[in-house]
């Protein structure tokens, strides 16, 4: 089944990423990483606000205590949108050349996980870090170039994690009691899906929705790894997706325009926009950080 997506907001993000649906406020948050800003959109009213940030926010999650927890540049921080206050909590990758945080989210138990990337693509030095509610930060996986596609099965017992340049998505067993992944194996490799794996989401059926960088699509993979649904976009740099709306049956999709030539931008004028599709399935509520 092939579906299409429509533009919601011509955000013109350099690299829009990390959409998160706020169920309480019924609004969508996302980040423009190189643009150093966060977006907040209320789809019902169309109200849109941006927050300028002092560094690149790779990913973030809502906090149960209010505000957001961020993986920003080389460390973790909290952000209060009401007053703009940012508090640095930990900098596990401080001093690592050509490194910054990229994709991440909370696990179903409310821990915040964020992966890093080697911006020079010079080595497989990207890591996956876990922060507990007590702000304890631990490395739990590694050996990727660009960490991406982090997602969890509906029961929380499986963890997906991608390496975009390697064009692979890995699958782990996940211990929800300890927040520990194990038994790493390949779930997806380069194949019939267009482009490379970027950010992702899992739906209530346990299927993995992979945004396809340079592929112009979001592809739904069954737990067995088969393609059974695809959403086409009018732009090639598709970065991540998130389920939202009152019933979590709307898929929001971020895109990018970073690195495009004037000719490419002329051919894809909506690059960097926020798109929406109705995929015909329901998503999972996004966990909040318990710290």
| Structural domains of the chain in order of their starting residue, each with its CATH number | 2-277 (2.120.10.30)
At residue 96, the pLDDT reads 87
CA–CA gap between residue 137 and residue 160 (Å, rounded): 20
At residue 97, the pLDDT reads 85
Contacts of 240 (CB under 8 A, 6+ apart): 16, 17, 18, 19, 30, 103, 198, 199, 200, 201, 211, 253, 254
Instruction: State the pLDDT confidence band at 216, using cuts at 50, 70 and 90.
Output: very high
Q: Provide mean pLDDT across the span 95-106.
A: 94
Q: Let me know if 198 is a catalytic residue.
A: yes
Residue 29 has pLDDT above 90, yes or no: yes
Residue 145 has pLDDT above 90, yes or no: yes
- Over the stretch 51-89, which tens digit does the pLDDT of each residue have? 999 999 999 999 999 999 999 999 999 999 999 999 999
CA–CA gap between residue 79 and residue 54 (Å, rounded): 11
Instruction: State the pLDDT confidence band at 31, using cuts at 50, 70 and 90.
Output: very high
At residue 265, the pLDDT reads 97
The H helix count followed by the E strand count for the chain is 1, 25
Percent of the chain with pLDDT over 70: 100
Q: Provide mean pLDDT across the span 158-187.
A: 98
Contacts of 274 (CB under 8 A, 6+ apart): 7, 8, 9, 11, 13, 16, 19, 28, 30, 39, 41, 252, 253, 254, 255
At residue 191, the pLDDT reads 85
Q: Looking at per-residue confidence, does 114 or 97 come out higher?
A: 114
Contact 148, 102 (CB under 8 A): yes
Q: How many other CB atoms are found less than 10 A from the CB of residue 282?
A: 14
Where in 153-291 does DSSP place strands (E)?
158-163, 168-175, 180-188, 196-202, 208-213, 217-221, 227-232, 238-244, 250-255, 274-277
Residue 95 has pLDDT above 90, yes or no: no
| Cα dihedral 197, 178, 76, 90 in deg (nearest 10) | -140
Determine which one of 103, 163, 198, 203 is catalytic: 198
At residue 162, the pLDDT reads 98
Burial of 54: CB neighbours in 10 Å, binned 0-12, 13-18, 19+:
exposed
Residue 271 has pLDDT above 90, yes or no: yes
Residue 153 has pLDDT above 90, yes or no: yes
At residue 130, the pLDDT reads 98
Q: How many other CB atoms are found less than 10 A from the CB of residue 201?
A: 29
C-alpha closest to that of 68 among 126, 114, 15: 114
Q: In the predicted model, what is the mean pLDDT of the chain?
A: 97
Place of tokens 């940030």: 53
């Amino acid at each position: 089944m092939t579906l299409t997506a429509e533009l919601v907001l011509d955000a013109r993000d350099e690299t829009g990423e990390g959409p998160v649906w706020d169920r309480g406020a019924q609004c969508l948050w996302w980040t423009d990483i190189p643009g150093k800003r966060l977006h907040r959109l209320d789809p019902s009213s169309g109200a849109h606000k941006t927050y300028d940030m002092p560094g690149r926010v790779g990913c973030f999650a809502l906090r149960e205590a209010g505000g957001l927890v961020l993986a920003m540049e080389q460390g973790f921080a909290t952000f209060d949108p009401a007053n703009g206050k940012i508090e640095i909590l930990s900098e596990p990758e401080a001093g690592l050349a050509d490194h910054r945080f990229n994709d991440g989210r909370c696990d179903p138990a409310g821990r915040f996980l964020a992966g890093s990337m080697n911006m020079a693509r010079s080595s497989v030095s990207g890591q996956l870090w876990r922060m507990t509610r007590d702000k304890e930060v631990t490395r739990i996986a590694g050996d990727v170039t660009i960490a991406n596609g982090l997602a969890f099965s509906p029961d929380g017992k499986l963890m997906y994690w991608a390496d975009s340049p390697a064009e692979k998505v890995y699958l782990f067993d996940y211990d929800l009691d300890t927040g520990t992944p194990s038994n790493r194996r390949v779930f997806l490799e380069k194949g019939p899906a267009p482009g490379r794996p970027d950010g992702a989401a899992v739906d209530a059926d346990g299927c993995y929705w992979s945004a396809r960088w340079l592929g112009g699509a979001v592809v739904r993979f069954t737990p067995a790894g088969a393609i059974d649904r695809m959403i086409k976009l009018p732009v090639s740099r598709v970065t991540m997706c998130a389920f939202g709306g009152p019933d979590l049956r709307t898929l929001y999709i971020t895109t990018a325009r970073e690195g495009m030539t004037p000719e490419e931008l002329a051919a894809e004028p909506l690059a960097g926009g926020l798109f929406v599709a109705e995929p015909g399935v329901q998503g999972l509520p996004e966990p909040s950080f318990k710290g």
